[in-house]
Amino acid sequence: MTEPVLELRNVNKSFGPIDVLHDINLTINAGEVLCLLGDNGAGKSTLIRTLAGVHKPTTGQMFMDGEAVSFDKPKDAADRGIATVHQFGGTFPLMTIGRSFFVGCEPTRKIGPFKVFDRKTANETAVKAVQEFGITRIDDGDRLIGGLSGGERQSLAIARAVHFGARVLILDEPTAALGVKQASHVLRIVLEARKRGIAVIFITHQVTHAMAVGDHFAVLIRGAVAANFMRGEKSREEITDLMAGGEALADLDTAMEDYKDSHDGHPPQPASRATVA
């Protein structure tokens, strides 16, 4: 068996007196999509910020390729190939595609004693990288990021991370603000990254999106891993129930029953014109 790319052993994170993560044990393998699920405040962002070197675990350890690692800052994690794509692609609307692709590592060429940004090379490289990912609608590196759709921005950010050698790709709610078509576009790109052997950590609230791409699922409830299972081991209903902590949906069922009891056994009806008038 090959070593997992990333492994967390008994990771705890507290902010002062507030314990946010409890004894997290997780393995993340190359060429696998791990869906990290959980309700608001469950600790998903805290967990990925810990992986990405923003926070240090209070106790516990992280391993990459079987070797203990400790990150003091995000750059340490980035240098090991842990890339995080934030919602909206984390890019600047007034920058061109070519520019934003190379932010921080611009290709330069020399004109006499000066080094200048090599716009042509940057544009060609960026467009080629995104087209290889199947985003054929991006064909001009001079276009502004602000003119791209949300899905295209996400896709561009993922293609960029992969181009620069990401081994672990963390996507924090990449499909949250997208319509059906754009979300499916981003999900396709996620599968493309997986095909290239990247370990993807995909955070989402949408069970449909998780089920479309996930190989492995971990559900966080109040900072602990409440369930850890592989594709096919749980039904959509079970996953939805787990994400809501089991409690919220039970509450909803109780509320429906209460309603029916107080309305002669009739379930709630949508308000029609007749009843509103």
Ligand X SMILES: Nc1ncnc2c1ncn2[C@@H]1O[C@H](COP(=O)(O)OP(=O)(O)OP(=O)(O)O)[C@@H](O)[C@H]1O
Point out which residues bind Mg ion (CB under 5 A).
45
Based on its alpha-carbon atoms, the radius of gyration of the chain, rounded to whole angstroms, reads: 22
Give the CB-side neighbour count of residue 123, counting CA atoms within 13 A. Answer: 11
Whether 117 contacts 108, CB under 8 Å: yes
Using CB under 6 A, which of the segments 15-23, 160-168, 191-199, 265-273 binds ligand X? 15-23
Task: Give the residue with the Cβ less far from Mg ion, 42 or 130.
Answer: 42
Minimum Å distance from CB 41 to ligand X?
4
Minimum CB distance to ligand X smaller for 82 or for 145: 82
Structure tokens at 262: 């107080």
| The binder of ligand X chosen from 5, 6, 8, 20 (CB under 6 A) | 20
Least Å distance between CB 2 and ligand X?
A: 30
CA 272 to chain centre: 40
DSSP-derived 3-state class of residue 162: helix
- Show Cβ contacts of residue 252 under 8 Å, excluding neighbours closer than 6 positions: none
40 binds ligand X (CB under 6 A): yes
Which one of ligand X, Mg ion, none is in contact with 42 (Cβ closer than 5 to 8 A by kind)? ligand X
43 lines the binding site for ligand X (CB under 6 A): yes
Q: Are strands 216-221 and 82-85 parallel, antiparallel or unpaired?
A: unpaired
What is the C-alpha separation between 139 and 88, in angstroms, rounded?
Answer: 20
Q: Which does 160 bind (CB under 5 to 8 A by kind): Mg ion, ligand X, none?
A: none
**Would you tell me which residues interact with ligand X (CB under 6 A)?**
15, 18, 20, 38, 40-46
